């Protein structure tokens, strides 16, 4: 029978095409299925025992995620031939449960209660990702209540970045941190290391008294077991910088009187020349105005930059959350706070504009601004806002930690106290201002604290200004008034400045008040200093550039003046806002230019840390 002819195969275009399939979710689905198997204890080939808990898992999952298990299961170890791993020591069962869940789901909840146990376990299991999660979390949570514990942990496990950030906070907040309960639990070797640092911040007076008190507080907590460390700790105290009162108190303690060796150590250390602990200095310049017009709604800045005297550079740091019309920055116990006043842009009349104030804290570890308005009592904030609106002056005394708001009407003291690691701004006193200033609505004056006394200088009488044919003409004052804090409501007129000046910069150096620049029919380069002992003013070297609406700070025995309003030329010209910076050396009596700011600005806030 003849064969049927074969039907030729039909080649379609589909045979000539390749398709590559990619499923991005297959990994998640696989892990999800494996986790279901683990939950049902199906096909699991290893058990992890910790305390009384047993957790089932798959060797392959542990091996690909942990160098610890890779080494354990990959070589001829006992555990490589058994299906059970027993964990002892400081390992917590909850941490094992959480990390195993992370390996199968990718989800891990980290909080203040479990971060240390997770860190210890991930270090043991050599899981770099989880270690990084934990250190990132601890960095973000660093504060005065926990930084010593974090520092100890980071040092023990060689986490350099975390250790450096914690150490930076310990150095900057030393006086506050050593009052925390955590300090009493720190091991002796860490206390010794901290006291050996030459750049811990000891407050405005940089007194070694604080170090003596810290040593005794730590020792007294467990005197029986800790007095053996007194010799090594006291050898790190710079006794020649300790006050007589503190020294007499410390020497009078029974533990010192009963130990001749400690007495000799103190006597020997007293003979050493005093070398104060010094931190690298930083100048922060905050906000301000872009143009010479400085009305409350004119172009303003919220940018912040920082100058390092060590490397002589200006670097930008985190900007303020808002753009204030007025601000004042201060350093309270090694922490930067900024009082910012925002003006309501919708208001029409300048004097009637609504204003509200906020307080921000700059976290030096995270380098971010945090809202701290809750630290300022409502009536204290109202006083600060009114002072700004009335053209008054604000000054802060680091020694007493008091803010003084001086207007034509009153002088108000706002005391800053520590409350559970945070400051509280509360009004502690209010007095009448200078009689003449109340009569003439004085504005544009400057204020400073020196030797327990508030000084108010310069400014302009607004009533006189308004009574002349040309109301735009300014009549600055050369007056200096002093208010003695311990004598209550009493302003005393002192020797007048050699030159009237309004909106001048003012600072204190070597026990003298410096009045810098300002306005007197034109912007000034002149500088003069007031000696409270001689009760007289002396002219010193002039600025290289006329400046008003600028600030001056003192750091390492020199005066720094930044930015401000000036002219295009030294002898006049168009108004101009400066970015240049000048530094005054009192030894040479000279002003010199240094590195200029990244941004020209005037009427800003500034603080030294």
Domain range annotation of the chain: 27-141, 173-270, 282-608
The proportion of the chain whose per-residue pLDDT surpasses 90, expressed as a percent, equals: 58
* CA proximity to 550, closest of 587, 525, 521, 513: 525
Question: Residue 404 — pLDDT band, cuts 50, 70, 90?
Answer: very high
Q: Which whole number is the average pLDDT over 209-220? A: 94
Q: Give dist(CA 73, CA 60) in Å, integer.
A: 9
| Phi and psi based region of residue 300 (left: phi greater than 0; alpha: psi -120 to 50; beta: remaining) | beta
Give the pair of three-digit tokens for residue 582: 């000048």
**Per-residue pLDDT for 312 more than 90?**
yes
Q: b or e along 570-586 (b: 16 or more beta carbons within 10 Å of the residue's beta carbon)?
A: eeeeeebbbebbbbbeb
What's residue 74's pLDDT? 76
What's residue 355's pLDDT? 82
- Say how many residues make up the chain: 609
What's residue 15's pLDDT? 60
3-state secondary structure of 165: helix
**Arithmetic mean of pLDDT over the chain:** 87
Burial label, 394 (beta-carbon count in 10 A; 0-12, 13-18, 19+): buried
Question: Residue 436 — pLDDT band, cuts 50, 70, 90?
Answer: low
Which residue has better confidence, 569 or 306?
306
107-151 pLDDT, tens per residue? 999 999 999 999 999 999 999 999 999 999 999 999 888 999 999
Element (H, E) at 195: helix 188-196
49-95 pLDDT, tens per residue? 988 889 998 988 899 999 988 888 876 666 667 788 888 888 899 99
What's residue 467's pLDDT? 55
Longest dimension (CA), the chain: 139
Residue whose entry in the numeric block shows the structure tokens 């005065």? 144
Q: Which whole number is the average pLDDT over 456-482? A: 73
What's residue 21's pLDDT? 79
Q: Give dist(CA 284, CA 356) in Å, integer.
A: 24
Asked: is 173-270 a CATH 3.40.309.10 domain? The reply is no
CB-based contacts of 381, cutoff 8 Å, min separation 6: 339, 357, 359, 373, 425
Q: Please check whether residue 211 is in contact with residue 177, taking contact to mean a CB–CB distance below 8 angstroms.
A: no
Q: What is the DSSP string of 322-338?
A: S--SEEEEEEETTEEEE
Q: Give dist(CA 356, CA 347) in Å, integer.
A: 13
**Per-residue pLDDT for 32 more than 90?**
no
Q: Please check whether residue 337 is in contact with residue 605, taking contact to mean a CB–CB distance below 8 angstroms.
A: no
Q: Please check whether residue 255 is in contact with residue 223, taking contact to mean a CB–CB distance below 8 angstroms.
A: yes
What's residue 14's pLDDT? 55
Q: Which whole number is the average pLDDT over 20-24? A: 79
What's residue 118's pLDDT? 95
Q: Which whole number is the average pLDDT over 373-396? A: 93
Report for 168-177, 420-429, 480-489, 599-608: range of highest mean pLDDT: 599-608
Q: Which whole number is the average pLDDT over 180-197? A: 93
Which residue has better confidence, 570 or 378?
378
Q: Which whole number is the average pLDDT over 17-46? A: 81
Q: Which whole number is the average pLDDT over 354-359? A: 88
Q: Which whole number is the average pLDDT over 471-495? A: 79
Question: Residue 176 — pLDDT band, cuts 50, 70, 90?
Answer: confident
Q: Which whole number is the average pLDDT over 311-330? A: 94
**Per-residue pLDDT for 460 more than 60?**
yes
What's residue 351's pLDDT? 52
Question: Residue 202 — pLDDT band, cuts 50, 70, 90?
Answer: confident
Q: Which whole number is the average pLDDT over 357-371? A: 92
State the first-to-last Cα distance of the chain, in angstroms, to the nearest integer. Answer: 109
Fold of 282-608: Neuraminidase (2.120.10)
What's residue 345's pLDDT? 57
The proportion of the chain whose per-residue pLDDT surpasses 70, expressed as a percent, equals: 88
Q: Which whole number is the average pLDDT over 444-471? A: 78
**Per-residue pLDDT for 25 more than 70?**
yes
**Per-residue pLDDT for 344 more than 90?**
no
* CA proximity to 100, closest of 52, 46, 51, 138: 46
What's residue 324's pLDDT? 92
**Per-residue pLDDT for 492 more than 90?**
no
Question: Residue 469 — pLDDT band, cuts 50, 70, 90?
Answer: low
Give the pair of three-digit tokens for residue 75: 């070589």
Q: Please check whether residue 357 is in contact with residue 351, taking contact to mean a CB–CB distance below 8 angstroms.
A: no
518-531 pLDDT, tens per residue? 999 889 999 999 99
CA distances, 496 to each of 449, 459, 483, 538 (Å)? 17, 12, 15, 11
Q: Please check whether residue 131 is in contact with residue 168, taking contact to mean a CB–CB distance below 8 angstroms.
A: no
**Per-residue pLDDT for 548 more than 90?**
yes
Asked: is 27-141 a CATH 3.30.710.10 domain? The reply is yes
What's residue 145's pLDDT? 87
């Amino acid at each position: 029978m003849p064969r049927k002819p074969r039907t030729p195969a039909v080649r379609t275009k589909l045979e000539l095409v390749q398709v590559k399939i990619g499923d991005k979710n297959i990994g998640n689905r696989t892990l999800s299925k494996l986790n279901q198997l683990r939950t049902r204890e199906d096909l699991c080939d290893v058990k992890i025992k910790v305390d009384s808990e047993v957790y089932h898992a798959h060797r392959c999952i542990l091996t690909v995620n942990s160098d610890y298990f890779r080494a354990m299961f990959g070589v001829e170890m006992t555990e490589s031939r058994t299906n059970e791993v027993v964990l002892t020591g400081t390992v917590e069962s909850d941490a094992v449960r959480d990390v195993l869940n992370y390996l199968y789901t990718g989800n891990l909840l980290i909080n203040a209660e479990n971060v240390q146990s997770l860190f210890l376990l991930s270090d043991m299991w050599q899981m770099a990702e989880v270690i990084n999660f934990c250190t990132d979390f601890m960095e973000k949570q660093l504060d005065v209540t926990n930084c010593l514990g974090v520092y100890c942990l980071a040092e023990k496990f060689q986490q350099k970045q975390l250790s450096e950030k914690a150490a930076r906070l310990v150095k900057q907040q030393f006086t506050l941190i050593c009052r925390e309960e955590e300090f009493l639990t720190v091991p002796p070797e860490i206390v010794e290391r901290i006291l050996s640092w030459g750049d811990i911040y000891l407050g405005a007076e940089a007194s070694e008294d604080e170090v003596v008190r810290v040593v005794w507080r730590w020792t007294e907590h467990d005197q029986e077991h800790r007095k053996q460390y007194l010799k090594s700790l006291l050898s790190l105290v710079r006794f020649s910088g300790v006050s007589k009162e503190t020294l007499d108190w410390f020497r009078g303690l029974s533990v010192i009187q009963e130990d001749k060796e400690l007495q000799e150590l103190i006597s020997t250390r007293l003979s050493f020349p005093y070398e104060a602990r010094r931190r690298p200095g930083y100048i922060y310049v905050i906000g301000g105005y872009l143009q010479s017009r400085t009305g409350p709604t004119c172009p303003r800045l919220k940018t912040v930059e920082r100058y390092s005297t060590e490397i002589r550079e200006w670097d930008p740091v985190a900007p303020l959350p808002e753009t204030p019309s007025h601000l004042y920055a201060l350093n309270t116990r090694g922490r930067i706070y900024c009082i910012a006043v925002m003006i309501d842009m919708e208001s029409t009349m300048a004097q009637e504009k609504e204003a509200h104030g906020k307080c921000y804290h700059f976290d030096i570890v995270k380098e971010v601004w945090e809202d701290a308005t809750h630290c300022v009592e409502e009536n204290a904030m109202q006083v600060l806002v009114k002072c700004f609106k009335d053209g008054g002056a604000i000054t802060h005394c680091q020694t007493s930690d008091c803010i003084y708001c001086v207007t034509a009407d009153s002088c108000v003291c706002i005391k800053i106290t520590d409350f559970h690691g945070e400051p509280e701004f509360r009004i502690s006193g209010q007095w009448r201002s200078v009689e003449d200033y109340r009569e003439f609505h004085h504005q544009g004056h400057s204020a400073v604290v020196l030797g327990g006394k508030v000084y108010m200088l310069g400014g302009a009488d607004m009533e006189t200004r308004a009574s002349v044919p040309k109301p735009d003409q300014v009549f600055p004052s050369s007056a200096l008034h002093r208010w003695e804090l311990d004598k209550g409501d009493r302003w005393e007129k002192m020797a007048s400045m050699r030159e009237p000046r309004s909106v001048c910069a003012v600072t204190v150096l070597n026990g003298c008040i410096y009045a810098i620049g300002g306005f007197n029919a034109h912007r000034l380069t002149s500088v003069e200093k007031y000696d409270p002992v001689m009760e007289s003013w002396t002219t010193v070297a002039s600025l290289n550039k006329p400046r008003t609406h600028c600030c001056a700070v003192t750091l390492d025995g020199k005066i720094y003046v930044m930015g401000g309003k000036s002219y295009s030329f030294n002898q006049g010209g168009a108004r101009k806002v400066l970015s240049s910076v000048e530094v005054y050396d009192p030894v040479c009596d000279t002003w010199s230019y240094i590195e200029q700011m990244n941004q020209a600005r005037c009427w800003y806030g500034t603080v030294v840390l």
